[in-house]
Amino acid sequence: MPATQRIAVVTGGMGGLGEAICMKLARMGIKVVVTYSPSNTKSATWLKEMEARDYHFHAYAVDVADFDSCAAAVAKIQKEVGPIDILINNAGITRDTTFKKMSKIDWSAVISTNLDSVFNMSKPIVDGMVERGWGRVINVSSVNGQKGAFGQTNYSAAKAGMHGFTKALALEVARKGVTVNTISPGYIGTAMVTAIPEEVLSSKILPQIPIGRLGKPEEVAGLCAYLASDEAAFVTGANIAINGGQHMF
């Protein structure tokens, strides 16, 4: 462990993959800050549930699609918690529909929340990492950003764009002790995925996955934990697939 406790910010950390990532980082001895949407009415309940399980997170409401909201939140986090060493851009939404039916609102909502957010959160944080000579940026993309998906032109475009951002920023900060990487999960057993009807899972989704099962949130969290560690210092600009073999490239 470093002389001082490292601080991680996980966007969209309340529930699903974000929750598993937060818990894993906390078990590594990292101080975890969770961001959540201002419209989330269950944030206090979630924090109490985590406290009962001995996870003590800091939490801040942030509109990740709004640059000024992100800048203000980061400034507040740095003042109240400390300098940010690890940023995990995990927040995301879907507005699935065919391109023929997709509205500009559907397109813009997904691009701003899933892709603009990566710039909005990284911009006020990365310079500090560079100045201190250590940092980790991990962008949570998707298998559908690699292979595309029917009804997801907006989502696939945003998730593919995340990795373009990763590669370019990684080149800029590579000599400064800061790594920037993408992970691309496949179908993971979060509440959102397990809510899919069983017949759809068994007939449409699982047959696409050579391993024959959904991924576990803890498996994705383990990959994030590695990329956030000192041991991953030689990994940068990478897009690491974690999809059970569903898409190989």
60-93 pLDDT per residue, tens: 999 999 999 999 999 999 999 999 999 999 999 9
Contacts of 149-156 with CB under 8 Å at 24 or more apart are: 150/98, 151/96, 151/97, 151/98, 152/94, 152/96, 153/99, 153/102, 153/107, 154/95, 154/102, 154/106, 154/107, 154/109, 154/110, 154/111, 155/94, 155/95, 155/96, 155/110, 155/114
Q: Is 36 a catalytic residue?
A: no
Q: What is the pLDDT of residue 49?
A: 96
- d(C-alpha 215, C-alpha 186), whole Å: 7
Q: Which residues of the chain have pLDDT under 70?
A: 1-3
Domain contains 22: yes
User: What is the residue type of 207?
Assistant: P
Domain contains 163: yes
Domain contains 189: yes
Q: What is the pLDDT of residue 127?
A: 98
How many residues are present in the chain?
Answer: 249
Catalytic residue among 60, 155, 187, 226: 155
Instruction: Tell me, letter by letter, the H, E, C secondary structure of 42-108.
Output: CHHHHHHHHHHCCCCCEEEECCCCCHHHHHHHHHHHHHHCCCCCEEEECCCCCCCCCCCCCCHHHHH
Q: What is the pLDDT of residue 132?
A: 98
Domain contains 245: no
Instruction: Centre a 10 Å sphere on the Cβ of residue 237 and count the other Cβ atoms it contains.
Output: 16
Q: Which of 86, 116, 108, 91 is nearest to 38 (CA)?
A: 91
Look up tokens 């991680």; give the residue.
8
- Six token digits for residue 150: 């029917």
Domain contains 248: no
Structurally, the chain folds into a number of domains equal to 1
Domain contains 160: yes
- Six token digits for residue 208: 């696409």
What b/e sequence results for 165-202 when a residue is b if at least 16 CB atoms lie within 10 Å of its CB, and e otherwise? bbeebbeebeebebbbbbbbbbbbbbeebeeeeeeebe
Domain contains 224: yes
- Helix 104-111 and helix 153-173, axial crossing angle in degrees, nearest 10: 30
Q: What is the pLDDT of residue 1?
A: 47
Q: What is the pLDDT of residue 3?
A: 58
Domain contains 218: yes
The residue range of the domain holding 146 is 7-239
Q: What is the pLDDT of residue 195?
A: 79
Instruction: Give the CATH number of the domain where residue 11 resides.
Output: 3.40.50.720
